[in-house]
Amino acid sequence: MKCVWIASAAWLLAAPMTARATGPNTLSEAEQQAGWRLLFDGKTTTGWRGYKMDALPPGWGVDNGALVRFKGGAGGKGAGGGDDIVTTEEFENFELQIEWKIVSNGNSGVLFHVSEEPVTAWHYAPEVQILDNTRHVNRDKRQHAGALYDLYAPSRDVTRPVGEWNHFRILVNGAHVEHWLNGEKIVAYEMWSDDWNKRVAGSKFKGKPKFGTIRKGPILLQDHSDRVEFRN
C-alpha cells in the first residue's frame, strides 16, 4: 500500500503522471520522484500500531508479503474497535492506493481522518467498505465493497472473486472524495454538502455530531474478526 500527499492544484494528475511499480510493496523511480511513500514494506509492521495503542496488537502480522489480520486473532471485537490498526502518520489531502483480499463472507474497511478520541473509530471517521458482496448478509448496497459505509453506494459491483486481490484508489482533497475499485470510479461525493448532511442524518451516524468532521488523521485498517490481507 502506498500514499502520496496531494496539493489541491495537482491532485487529479498525481496518479496518471506516475508509472506503476512492477512488484507488490515497491515504488518505481517515477513514484518516488512524485512523492509517493510506502505505508507497508512487505516485510515488517513498521509504521503501524493499534488504535489507542502504542504497539501493534496480537492478531495482526506479516504473511507472504501482506499485512494480515488473521481470522480470530486476539480480540475479534471488530466494529467495536478492538484490534483496528492505524498508521503512525497522519494525512489530510492524499491519494491512497491499496490492495486487499478478503475471505468468504468477510468484512473489513479502510477508514480515513481517524481520531482516537472516541471509543470506536467509526463514530468519527468515514469508512470505505471491504466486503464479500456475494455471501455476506449485508444486502444494502451502501454497505457493499467500495461504498462509503451506510452513506454512498458504489455505482456498480466490480469486485473480483473471493481470494483474489482487489485494488482501491482513494482520493481525498478537501471536501471532494473519490473511491476507485479495480480501475473504475464507483463513488464520488462532497463532504459537508447538503447531500452529505442529509445522508448522515438518515444513517447509523445520526446522533454522532463529530462524524466526518475531523480534517486530518491516521488511516485505519479495520478488524472485523475475519481474515483480511493488505499490500502494495
* Rounded mean pLDDT, 185-211: 98
Question: Grid coordinates 493488505 are at which residue?
Answer: 230
Indicate whether 17 pLDDT > 50.
no
8: cell is 489541491
User: What is the pLDDT, as a whole number, of residue 23?
Assistant: 83
Q: pLDDT band at 81, cuts 50/70/90? A: very low
- Give the 3-state secondary structure of residue 148: strand
The CATH number that applies at residue 164 is 2.60.120.560
Indicate whether 14 pLDDT > 60.
no
pLDDT tens across 165-194, in order? 999 999 999 999 999 999 999 999 999 999
User: What is the pLDDT, as a whole number, of residue 53?
Assistant: 96
Number of domains in the chain: 1
Indicate whether 222 pLDDT > 50.
yes
Q: Decide if 102 contacts 226 (C-beta within 8 A).
A: yes
- 94 phi/psi in degrees, rounded to 5: -160, 165
Indicate whether 225 pLDDT > 90.
no
Parent domain of 129: 2-231
**Within 13 A of 133's CA, how many CA atoms are on the CB side?**
18
Percent of the chain exceeding pLDDT 70 equals 88
Query: Which uninterrupted H or E stretch holds 196?
Result: helix 194-201
Indicate whether 9 pLDDT > 80.
no
Indicate whether 77 pLDDT > 70.
no
* Rounded mean pLDDT, 32-43: 92
Pairwise CA distance, residues 106 & 1, whole Å? 20
Nearest C-alpha neighbor of 125 from the set 163, 87, 168:
87
pLDDT tens across 99-146, in order? 999 999 999 999 999 999 999 999 999 999 999 998 886 779 999 999
* pTM beyond 0.85, yes or no: yes
Mean pLDDT over each residue of the chain, to the nearest integer: 89
Indicate whether 18 pLDDT > 70.
no
User: What is the pLDDT, as a whole number, of residue 78?
Assistant: 40
Nearest C-alpha neighbor of 4 from the set 129, 128, 171:
171
